[in-house]
Amino acid sequence: MSETPKSSRQKQEFEHALDSSDSNVAQFDHKHRSLFDSVQHFLHGNPTMVPVIVLIFSIIIFGFVAGNKFFSPFNLSLIMQQVSIIGILAAAQSLVILTAGIDLSVGAIMVLMSVIMGQLAVTIGIPAPIAIVIGCIGGICAGGLNGFLVTRIKLPPFIVTLGTWNIFFALNLWLSGAQSIRSQTLDEIAPLLKFFGESIALGGARITYGSILMLVIFAVLWYILNHTSWGRHVYAIGDDKEAAELSGIRTNRTLIMVYCLAGLVCAIGAWASIGRVGSVSPQSFQEANLQSITAVVIGGISLFGGRGSIIGPLIGALIVGVFNSGLRLAGVDVLWQVFAIGWLTIIAVAIDQWIRKVSS
Amino acid sequence: MSNTSQSVQPVLKARGIVKRYGRVTALNYADFDLYPGEVLAVIGDNGAGKSSLIKALSGAVTIDEGSIELDGKPIQFTSPMEAREAGIETVYQNLALSPALSIADNMFMGRELRKKGLMGKYFGALDHKEMQRLARQKLTDLGLMTIQNINQAVETLSGGQRQGVAVARAAAFGSRVVIMDEPTAALGVKESRRVLDLIADVKARGMPIVLISHNMPHVFEVADRIHVHRLGKRLCTIKPDDYSMSDAVAFMTGAKEPPAEDAA
């Protein structure tokens, strides 16, 4: 472009006024914030703080109401034990909800896989470790089916998982003949299936391997979501799928992997659930899918996707456990436990909406 | 045209590209040439097919017919990732940022850096510190704006600041071509000036830029050549020194026929 004499680029006429003006361009800092705004900004940056505060307050309140029984190591470890299965399902649920989806089939996948593990090991007589591995592969396939329908057939996750929920439940009844496998039978033939029901005594506490498994699953998922590219892509897809695609992320492939991983976590939960219940019971955990969504929502993960920490649902599950335990120890009727959890869910979503409205 | 077009090979060249969306033809045998080191403005009415042209060049849509060449080699992008790997960076009109993620996350989206050593190799551990440092450095280098907190969510930034992040991302990572779709559309006077200066900076590094804009003063200020797009194809290519802004608008809207020697 040798002949272009435009080397001295001319400013526009009106821009000469800029010479005498403030030379700062738009800055990233904020001045003059009210306390209210500051709280909103803080929560926006740390969405998990809401459930953490709720958990701390509920522990303090129930400590007063229910007294020493609540704070006993035994009771605290019991709460962990009681929330472990819903906690694991909430971990799987979180992955899907982070992508702005929802998975109504998590409970059904879990029960189906526990039946598959039990039937293979007990009825067919396959060694328990192989039965567990096959169950885990089954979980990945079940999740993969959800992911395939969501990404390739482009159906809404709600509809897909509403369908597969029923499909998996029907398969579960067919495979099990609606019959449980009793605890003694498991002890005789495949005691490994009950492994996560065993516990270690620590002082007065009885910490089951199932509780530890739940914590390990959350730790692993926390690492994956925060410290790997794949995890950042999961957030980006939930945030704005089109933007993620333009940024070069293979969104459909990542989404299918999310559903597969959720399925695998459910299958691991299936193994843990056999230990928790003590038997393979095809009729158990029928509301587990909704309870997992409750834990995720109370844990501060946005149903609109892309926001919240995986630690939130763990806290959310613990809040539900603390409420149930505290109200029970205080002698309150079970119906009020359900009542309280209902309000907690609504309030959690209301807070999420408020935080999302943050303005600069 | 000028001597440049005969002697120098275009960096990015498209011939007869067609893109149809159902019954709508967005690109109707369009041609495109971008020469080394130049700022090429693309102007056209709404619906003329500018965005489709840009998406075809940046891999966001796959063309139905025609050919695209980068440095003389035919290319067939099936995703924006492939275009980026080939060195073509794009600032989209909607910016393609993830609002809930941080500035640093957004700048490295899709090309995250891993830690060195075992953790990075076998566990895919990301090097957050290095990415934050580089993101801060890139933004500072480009003099685009002062950053208080690189971990701030993009949605807490103003429109102009977001534009700044998107432009900085493209300028920082583009190695062959930078495409900017309406980079000043959402900006105030001062921020627009920064972006125009930035375009000059990027050009000074020898990188060619494709600039899509409706803002004629900006186009006439920074562009070396202007590609007028009309009804899904290139109508003509003009030099800003030879024509006035009203001529350009007249060509673009069909009020005036382009001179024969400049027609595509």
ipTM score here? 0.80
Nearest CA in chain A to B55: A246
Give the 3-state secondary structure of residue B95: coil
pLDDT at site A25: 53
Q: Assign 3-class secondary structure to chain A.
A: CCCCCCCCCCCCHHHHHHHHCCCCCCCCCCCCCCHHHHHHHHHHHCCCHHHHHHHHHHHHHHHHHHCHHHHCHHHHHHHHHHHHHHHHHHHHHHHHHHCCCCCCCHHHHHHHHHHHHHHHHHHHCCCHHHHHHHHHHHHHHHHHHHHHHHHCCCCCHHHHHHHHHHHHHHHHHHHHCCCCECHHHHHHHCHHHHHHHCEEEECCEEEEHHHHHHHHHHHHHHHHHHHCHHHHHHHHHHHCHHHHHHCCCCHHHHHHHHHHHHHHHHHHHHHHHHHHHCCECCCCCCCHHHHHHHHHHHCCCCCCCCCCCCHHHHHHHHHHHHHHHHHHHCCCCHHHHHHHHHHHHHHHHHHHHHHHCCCC
Q: Is the pLDDT of residue A150 over 90?
A: yes
What pTM was estimated for this model as a whole?
0.85
- A chain contacts of residue B123, beta-carbon cutoff 8 Å: 223, 227-228
**What's the rounded Cα separation, in Å, for the pair B44 and B24?**
17
**What's the rounded Cα separation, in Å, for the pair B109 and B103?**
10
Nearest CB to A232; choose among B112, B125, B164: B112
Nearest CB to B97; choose among A11, A229, A243: A243
When pLDDT is averaged across residues A117-144 and rounded to a whole number, the result is 96
pLDDT in tens, A42-84: 777 777 888 898 899 888 888 888 777 888 888 889 999 999 9
Nearest CB to B101; choose among A4, A227, A235: A235
Q: Name the average pLDDT for chain A.
A: 88
pLDDT in tens, B2-61: 444 456 889 999 999 999 988 888 899 999 999 999 999 999 888 888 888 988 998 888
- The nearest CA of chain B is from the CA of A155 a distance in Å of 21
- A chain contacts of residue B96, beta-carbon cutoff 8 Å: 242-243, 246-247
- A chain contacts of residue B222, beta-carbon cutoff 8 Å: 9
pLDDT at site A159: 96
pLDDT in tens, A337-350: 889 889 988 988 88
Query: Among A317, A271, A311, which residue's Cα sits nearest to residue A292?
Result: A317
Nearest CB to A247; choose among B96, B149, B156: B96
> Which of B:6-35 have CB within 8 Å of A?
none
Q: Which domains does chain A have, with CATH numbers?
A: 47-354 (1.10.3470)
Q: CB distance A4–B95 less than 8 Å?
A: no
When pLDDT is averaged across residues A270-277 and rounded to a whole number, the result is 95
> Which of B:111-150 have CB within 8 Å of A?
111-112, 114, 123-126, 128, 144-149
Nearest CB to B191; choose among A25, A229, A243: A25
Q: Is the pLDDT of residue B194 over 50?
A: yes
Q: Which domains does chain B have, with CATH numbers?
A: 37-57+77-262 (3.40.50.300)
Kindly give, in sequence order, each residue whose CB lies less than 8 Å from that of residue B166, ignoring residues fewer than 6 positions away. Answer: B91, B92, B95, B96, B97
List the Cα angle A183/A189/A191 in 5-degree steps: 60
Q: Per-residue confidence at A6, pLDDT binned at 50, 70, 90? A: very low
Q: Per-residue confidence at B172, pLDDT binned at 50, 70, 90? A: confident
**What's the rounded Cα separation, in Å, for the pair A160 and A251?**
18
- A chain contacts of residue B194, beta-carbon cutoff 8 Å: 25
> In this complex, is the C-beta atom of B153 within 8 Å of any C-beta atom belonging to chain A?
yes
